[in-house]
Chain A
Amino acid sequence: MRHLSQPVPHTIPPRALLTSGLVLAALAAVWSALVLTAPVDRMQGVVQKILYVHVPCAFSAYLGFGLTAIAGALYLARNDERFDRLAAAAAEVGVLFCSLNILSGPIWAKATWGHWWAWDPRLTVTLLLWFVYLAYLLLRSFTEGSDRTARFAAVYGILGATAMPLNYFAIDLFGGAAMHPENLERGSLGAGMGWPFAAAIAVGFAAFVHLLLLRVDLAARHTAAELAARERDFAR
C-alpha cells in the first residue's frame, strides 16, 4: 500500500534501458571496426588512435558536468527530486569520463609531446573540473538528509559551473602556451580519420546516455526501497 502523499519514484522503463544498451553495442561494433581500419598517423604512429577514446571522453565529461549544473538549478527552482537524481547521476558519469580522459591523455602526451603532463590550458581546466565534481560527489556522500544533500549539491554544482569560465579566462590571461590543437577546422584530423572520429563521438555519447539512464534508474529504485522500508516501519 502506498501513501498518496508520497510521490511514486520514477524508474526508467526496461525497454528504454534495453534500447540504449543495444544502440551502444551496435555503435561500439562500428567504432571498433572503423578504428581498426583507420589510417595510422604518419608522424605519431599508432598511438594517435588514442584520439578515438580521449576526445569522446572529454565531450561526455563536459556534457555530464553541464547537465549536473542545469539539473541542480532546476531542482532548486522546482524542488522535484527527479532533477536531483539526474544531477547526481550526471556528476558520477561525468567524473568517470573525466577520469578516463585524464588517464588516456598522458599516454598520448608521453608519446607525442615527450612529457606525461604539461600545464596546457585545456588540461588544467579539465583537471580543475575533475576536482570540483569529485568534491561534489564527496559532498553528497558526507551530507546527511536527502533534502539537504540535494540542496547543498545543487549549490555546489552551480558554483562549479561558474568557476569554469573564470578558470579559462585566468589561463588565457596568465597561462602558458597551448599544446592541444585549437579545433577541428584547422585540419588536425588527417585524411580518413573523419569517420572513425565521428563514430567515436557517437559511441561516447551513447555510453554517456546508457550509463546515465542506468544510474538514474538505480537512484529511483534506491528511493523506492527507502520509501517501502519507511512504510513497513510505519505499518508496524
Chain B
Amino acid sequence: MNVLLAVLWKDLTIELRSRDRVVAMVVFSLLVVMVFHLSLPADTRDTAPGLLWIAYVFAALLGLGRSFSLELENDAVSGIALAPADRGWVFLGKAAANWIILSAVQAVTALVFALVFDLDLMAVAGRLAGVVALSSVGLCAIGTLSAAVAVRTRFREVMLPLLMLPLLWPVLSGAVRATRQLLTSGSLSFEPIQFLIVTDGIYLIVSFLVFEYILDE
C-alpha cells in the first residue's frame, strides 16, 4: 500500500512540475473534437457518446505511452522493480496516477465538447462524471499494463493501441452505452454500471497479479 502511494505521489509530482502530459493530452483531445466538428453534420446527438469516447481513448493513448517511457530514462524502471512490496502495488500506483491525469483531461474535453456540439451537460454532469470515472478505471488498468509491455518492444507507439484496443472493447461498450443513456434520456439504468464495475474489478485483479511478470527485470 505504501508503494502504491509512493508511486502515485512520484508520478503526480513529476506531472505537477512539468505539466507536459496533461497539456499535450488536452490539446490533442481538443483537436480531435475540432476535427469531429468539421467533418460531421451539425446534429450529432446520436453519435455524441461514441465521439466523446473516441476523443478520450485517443487522449489516453497519448498519455499512457508516456507513463512508462519516462521510467526507461536512466533505467529508473529497475529502481521501481526493487520496491520492497508485491509489484502489483507499483502497477496500482501507476494506474491511479494515470487515472487522475486522464480524469483532468476528460473534464476539460467534456466541457469543450458540450460547447462545440451544443449539448446541455449540466443536468447530467454529476452522473456523467461518475460514469466516465468508473469506465476510466478499466481503461487505465488495461492501458497501464499495455503501456508497460509496449514500451519495451520495438515500434512501441504502434504496439500500445494494438495491444490495448481489443482488450478495451468491453469497457468501451459499457461506457458508451451508459453515456448514451445519460445524453439521450437523462436517466441511467443499473445494467451498464453493474457491467462496468465487474469489468473494472476483473481487469484490475488480473493486471495486479500478472504485473510481476512484466516488471521482472
Contacts and interface: CB of A to CB of B under 8 A. Distances in A.
Interface stretch (A9-17, A151-159, A226-234): A151-159
Contact of A143 (B145, B153, B167, B213): B153
Contacts of B210: 76, 155, 158-159
Contacts of B107: none
A132 B167 contact: yes
B149 A128 contact: no
Interface in B182-217: 191-192, 195, 198-199, 202-203, 206-207, 210, 213-214, 216
Nearest to B203: A162
A166 B166 contact: no
Given A142-B159, A166-B202, A160 B153 contact: no
Contacts of B145: 155, 159
A119 to B, nearest CB: 11
A173 B162 CA distance: 26
Contacts of A174: 173-174, 177, 192
B206 A159 contact: yes
Does more than half of chain A's interface fall in helix, strand or loop, or is it mixed? helix
Interface residues of A, number: 28
A135 B154 contact: no
Contact of A138 (B142, B159, B177, B214): B159
Interface residues of B, number: 31
A159 B145 CA distance: 10
Given A170-B174, A173-B192, A131 B166 contact: yes
Contacts of B192: 173-174
A113 interface: no
Contacts, number: 85
B81 interface: no
Given A135-B162, A155-B149, A155-B213, A167 B155 contact: no
A156 B163 contact: yes
B169 interface: yes
A148 interface: yes
A139 B149 contact: yes
B130 interface: no
B169 A170 contact: yes
A148 B145 CA distance: 15
Contacts of B177: 173-174
Contacts of B162: 135, 138-139
A152 B214 contact: yes
Interface of A: 76, 128, 131-132, 135, 138-139, 142-144, 148, 151-152, 154-156, 158-160, 162-163, 166-167, 169-171, 173-174
9 contacts: A76-B213, A139-B149, A143-B152, A152-B149, A156-B163, A159-B167, A166-B170, A169-B195, A170-B199
Given A163-B170, A170-B195, A174-B192, 11 more contacts: A135-B162, A135-B163, A142-B155, A144-B153, A151-B213, A152-B214, A155-B145, A156-B149, A158-B210, A159-B145, A162-B206
